[in-house]
A = this chain, B = another copy of it.
Amino acid sequence: MTNVGIRDVAQLAGVSVTTVSHVLNNTPKMRVAEETKERVRHAAKTLGYGPNRIARGLRTKKSGLIGLLSEEIATTPHAGRIILGAQNAARMHGFNLLIINTDRSLNDLYQDDIQVLIDNRVEGILYATMFHREVTLPPNLHGRTTILIDARESSGIVPSVVPNETQGATTAVNFLIDAGHRRIGFLNNSDDVPATHERLIGYKNALSNHDIEFEKELILQSASEANPAYEIAKKLLARANRPTAIFCYNDRMAMGAYRAAAELGIKIPEELSIIGFDNQELIADNLFPGLTTIALPHYEMGIWAVEKFLQKSDEVKAGEQQKNYPVRLDCPLVVRKSVAPPKNNRKD
Residues of A within 8 A of B (CB): 1-2, 48, 50-55, 57-58, 63-64, 73-77, 79-81, 83-84, 87, 91, 96-101, 115-116, 118-121, 140, 143-144, 225-227, 230, 252, 255-256, 259, 262, 280-283, 285-288, 299
Contacts and interface: CB of A to CB of B under 8 A. Distances in A.
Give the interface centre of A77, A280, A299 by most chain B CB atoms within 10 Å. Answer: A77
14 contacts: A2-B118, A54-B54, A64-B120, A73-B84, A75-B77, A76-B77, A76-B80, A96-B116, A97-B98, A225-B285, A226-B285, A256-B286, A280-B282, A283-B286
A100 B119 CA distance: 20
B54 A281 contact: no
User: How many copies altogether?
Assistant: 2
A121 B63 CA distance: 12
B73 A80 contact: yes
Nearest to A139: B48
A2 B141 CA distance: 11
A120 B100 contact: no
Nearest to A262: B262
B252 A119 contact: no
B96 A120 contact: yes
A63 to B, nearest CB: 6
A21 to B, nearest CB: 15
A64 to B, nearest CB: 8
Contact of A48 (B77, B140, B262): B140
B74 A80 contact: yes
A338 to B, nearest CB: 14
B74 A299 contact: yes
Given A54-B57, A256-B286, A288-B226, A101 B83 contact: yes
A143 B80 contact: no
Nearest to A281: B75
Give the interface centre of A74, A77, A84, A288 by most chain B CB atoms within 10 Å. Answer: A74
B1 A143 contact: yes
A191 B180 CA distance: 42
A48 B111 CA distance: 11
A168 B285 CA distance: 26
Contact of A286 (B75, B87, B226): B226
A286 B57 contact: no
Contacts of A100: 87, 96
Minimum-distance CB pairs A-B, first 3? A226-B286, A74-B80, A50-B119
Contacts of A73: 80, 83-84
Contacts of A1: 143-144
A100 B83 CA distance: 9
B252 A282 contact: yes
